[in-house]
Structure 1
Amino acid sequence: MTFKTIAAVAALVLTSVPAHAQDGWRLVWSDEFDGDRLDETKWTYAADCGGGGNDERQCYAVDPETVSVKDGVLRLTAIKRKTRGLANPWAGPTGPMKTGDYASGKILTQGKASWLYGRVEARARVPGGQGVWPAIWMMPELSTYGGWPKSGEIDILETVNLGAPCDGCEGGRENRVFGTIHFAGDAAGTHRQVSNSTPMPVSSDGFHVYAVEWTPEAITWFVDGRRYARAEAADWKRDDQVAGPAPFDQPFHLILNLAFGGRWPEGANAKGIDEAALPATMEVDWVRVSQRP
């Protein structure tokens, strides 16, 4: 076998190995969404009308219209439908109720799986339309440093209003993917964030792999294996601290949701919401978490 042949075979083997198995990563948790229902040993449904703390308009509901698994794909769907739930789920299960005009799906691994550092990735297809806000993100399992944003937030994927008018976007239409971390800038808990975006890559089927690599030193964002942003520990240190990994030095759990409306999407692009975007569905082929030994 010639050197060229050996090199070609090696390259073929490398490209056929999943990203989570390259560079020393070892798969520690995954959901391929096989079967015909959500695996409740891995996920918990959200059911509330809290609006995510962002004045989002949906209520999260637990039914096949909003959360379903079929043909190896998870589907979270936002629809127009009167839905009732807790107005403030963070205050406990006995607070006042609220009725919203829209229903959607949200699932999370809180209480079932959380991780400190690693590569977290998902293959997903996200919907568009004014007011449509899909997200794949992480929150601390325990609020070790205090309530939001003191204990941090890692947003692996967010898009808002895909396809809506956008003066600064290629082709004049919204086409950006956002990766963000939220944290406190001082002891008082003043909100700060590091946020970056990149144009949505071209895809024949609309699916892309969204990922972060999270270490004590940095958090790095990727789309389809291409790095587009990086935040280092010095970027999220508080004014009264020396540089260090806090607050991103505690286990975080994973959240998948599809919001409709809210301060961010309603204040951007064409403004407000457009019910013509409904029903809207985020499809997730798989989610994988890998760590280095």
Structure 2
Amino acid sequence: MKPNLLLAFFLLLFAMNWTASTSCAASESDDLSAECLPHTDPANIGEWQLQDAFSDEFNDDTLSSIWHVQGKDDGEGAYYNANQGRNSQFIPEAISQSEGILRIKSHWNPSFPFAKGYGVPPITTGALISKKLLKYGYMEIRCRVGKSPMSGAFWAVGNGVNDGNRGELDIFEHVGQGWDAQKDNTDISTTMQMSIHNWNRAINENLGNRRHWTQKHSLGFDVTDGMHVYAADWTEDYIKFYVDGALVRTLSKEEADDVKLNGHGAWVIDNEQRVWIDCELFDWEGRVSELKADMFGEEAVFEVDYVRVWKRGAGGNHKHDEHGANLVANGNFATNLDGWNTQGLVAIQDVSNWKYWKDNNPSLDPNAMQIGAGGTGAANQVISVEPNSKYILTAYLRTPGTTGTLEPSNLRIKPVVFHEGWFGVEDYGGSRLTRKLFHNWFQSYSIEFTTGSSDRTATIFFNNTESQRGGLMHVDGVTVVKVQDLRRIRDPALPNGKTE
């Protein structure tokens, strides 16, 4: 055999083996290779069963028939849930698949014949939706968000046939870049937002905000820089959110139901849901009038390597992933400020009579730490940590809020955002990390950070001194926990125990 033919033969053999090794379709035996198991459970403690109706490696030449493409009529209408897009329009031409990657391209497309109300600004994009409905499961995606104002999202929602089937679970809604200088959201592409929405009209009549629960989490990376793995373990009792093999948030049904909207709890996701992969334009992240055509270039592409969904086996569990103990002293401010270093106007405040505290602060003490208005207050605490370890700082935070202006283009009130509070971590072996906030209700925020090779302390801080607009700020429920890399956790019953 000639050398070039021999080389071609081996390349073909390698390609065949590679394709086989990355094919994760469920087999009759249900024995999955390690790479086809959840990223957080390589030992298969959950006894996972892959669900082909929601899983795709995107290795074929054409898109799998498990998906509905928004804008393409496959017998059930062109647009599921009557959703044609948000400040843009979903079109089939935005979807492509090649070399094992799904791509959703967002275009500045003024010549497109938009449906009424969807062409301001003139953006076309795409959405994939599972044809089958899912109730509970472990959902995982490996993806990279496009560098543009568009979101890249992995979520699920009821089919909208009746009001009892309108719960929505957002595993993430990433935005690739900020575009409105007035908003000052330069950290938008390092933020992961997890949410539950309730679209039941009987509960939400005349309410503009139907988000029932949300968590804003500051990642240690830019979501547009490379592929990352995101997942959610959705059960009847809890949801666990994961990033790159680490648990970042657990929301129990009990905690969610303590968060009230018109007297109704936030756990509204006991319904069957369709799985979505899509791009949208969120006008609450900035004024649409500030968008420009050059923001939608070649990098405005949401790329997906795979989507996999599993069901837990009858004997499976996933109890090995909980966080460690809280390292913060007096994070609930039950009676005093012991453990905190303060400057300026800092005091204890009883907030139990505040509506937003009652509705959005499950299981917290009635007191919060109050940092005085006018950019005059700050508090910090030095905590003990271990070198080369990942931690998550979480807190419930509130500031007076923001103002609003009328957008002439769509007659909607859009915020003029003045950030009035900050929190973060420093002196841990990395660069100082901060998060800005402006919401006038208690909302849960979190920041992840990794300590240096020799660092054994870190300083967490809260202040309103970084701007003259610093407003009255309230802090409650502060925690710092160590995070495990679950990709290295093996079944404790095995001789190896943990494998590095």
Class of the TM-score when normalised by the shorter of the 2 chains: 0.7 to 0.9
Which position in structure 1 is the counterpart of 2:112? 83
- Cα distance in 1, alignment partners of residues 253 and 307 from structure 2: 26
Which position in structure 2 is the counterpart of 1:132? 150
Q: Pairwise mapping of residues 88-237 of structure 1 onto structure 2 (< 5 A)?
A: 101-109=122-130, 112-129=131-148, 131-146=149-164, 151-162=166-177, 174-183=189-198, 188-189=203-204, 191-202=210-221, 206-237=226-257
Alignment deviations for residues 34-87 of structure 1 (CA, whole Å, 9 cap, x no partner)? 122211x2111112899x979833211112xx1100000000000111323544
How many residue pairs match? The answer is 256
- Cα distance in 2, alignment partners of residues 173 and 104 from structure 1: 20
Determine which of 45, 49, 71 is the counterpart of 1:23.
Answer: 45
- Cα distance in 1, alignment partners of residues 232 and 248 from structure 2: 10
Cα distance, 1:18 vs. partner? 2.8
Cα distance, 1:23 vs. partner? 2.6
Which position in structure 2 is the counterpart of 1:43? 67
Which position in structure 1 is the counterpart of 2:13? none
- Cα distance in 2, alignment partners of residues 202 and 244 from structure 1: 30
- Cα distance in 2, alignment partners of residues 215 and 239 from structure 1: 22
Secondary structure of 2:302's counterpart equals strand
Which position in structure 2 is the counterpart of 1:278? 296
Tell me, yes or no, if the aligned pair for 1:49 and 1:85 is still in contact at 8 Å. no
Q: Identify unmatched segments of 5+ residues in structure 1.
A: 1-13, 89-96
Greater Cα radius of gyration, structure 1 or 2:
2
Tell me, yes or no, if the aligned pair for 1:114 and 1:251 is still in contact at 8 Å. yes
- Cα distance in 1, alignment partners of residues 120 and 263 from structure 2: 43
Alignment deviations for residues 105-160 of structure 1 (CA, whole Å, 9 cap, x no partner)? 11111xx222110101110010123x2211111011354434xxx72111112112
Tell me, yes or no, if the aligned pair for 1:60 and 1:104 is still in contact at 8 Å. yes
Q: Identify unmatched segments of 5+ residues in structure 2.
A: 1-32, 72-77, 314-500
User: How large is the RMSD of aligned CA atoms in angstroms?
Assistant: 3.7
Which position in structure 1 is the counterpart of 2:390? none
Cα distance, 1:102 vs. partner? 1.9
Which position in structure 2 is the counterpart of 1:94? none
- Cα distance in 1, alignment partners of residues 212 and 249 from structure 2: 13
Amino acid at match of 1:83: F
Cα distance change, pair 243–177 in 1 and its aligned pair in 2 (3 A): closer
Cα distance, 1:16 vs. partner? 5.9
- Cα distance in 1, alignment partners of residues 220 and 151 from structure 2: 18
Amino acid at match of 2:122: D
Tell me, yes or no, if the aligned pair for 1:162 and 1:176 is still in contact at 8 Å. no
Secondary structure of 1:286's counterpart equals strand
Q: Pairwise mapping of residues 225-264 of structure 1 onto structure 2 (< 5 A)?
A: 225-237=245-257, 247-259=268-280, 261-264=281-284
Secondary structure of 1:159's counterpart equals strand
- Cα distance in 1, alignment partners of residues 272 and 220 from structure 2: 31
Amino acid at match of 1:72: G
Cα distance, 1:252 vs. partner? 0.8
> Is 2:90 the partner of 1:71?
no
Alignment deviations for residues 156-208 of structure 1 (CA, whole Å, 9 cap, x no partner)? 12112436678687xx6741121111126995325242111323344896001
Secondary structure of 1:84's counterpart equals coil
Secondary structure of 2:128's counterpart equals strand
- Cα distance in 2, alignment partners of residues 60 and 220 from structure 1: 30
Alignment deviations for residues 196-229 of structure 1 (CA, whole Å, 9 cap, x no partner)? 1323344896001111111111112111121112
Cα distance change, pair 101–173 in 1 and its aligned pair in 2 (3 A): closer
Alignment deviations for residues 236-272 of structure 1 (CA, whole Å, 9 cap, x no partner)? 4356878795x3112111111112x33223259xx84
Cα distance change, pair 84–249 in 1 and its aligned pair in 2 (3 A): same
- Cα distance in 2, alignment partners of residues 156 and 173 from structure 1: 16
- Cα distance in 2, alignment partners of residues 106 and 250 from structure 1: 21
Cα distance change, pair 267–99 in 1 and its aligned pair in 2 (3 A): closer
Secondary structure of 2:135's counterpart equals coil
Q: TM-score, normalised by structure 1?
A: 0.73
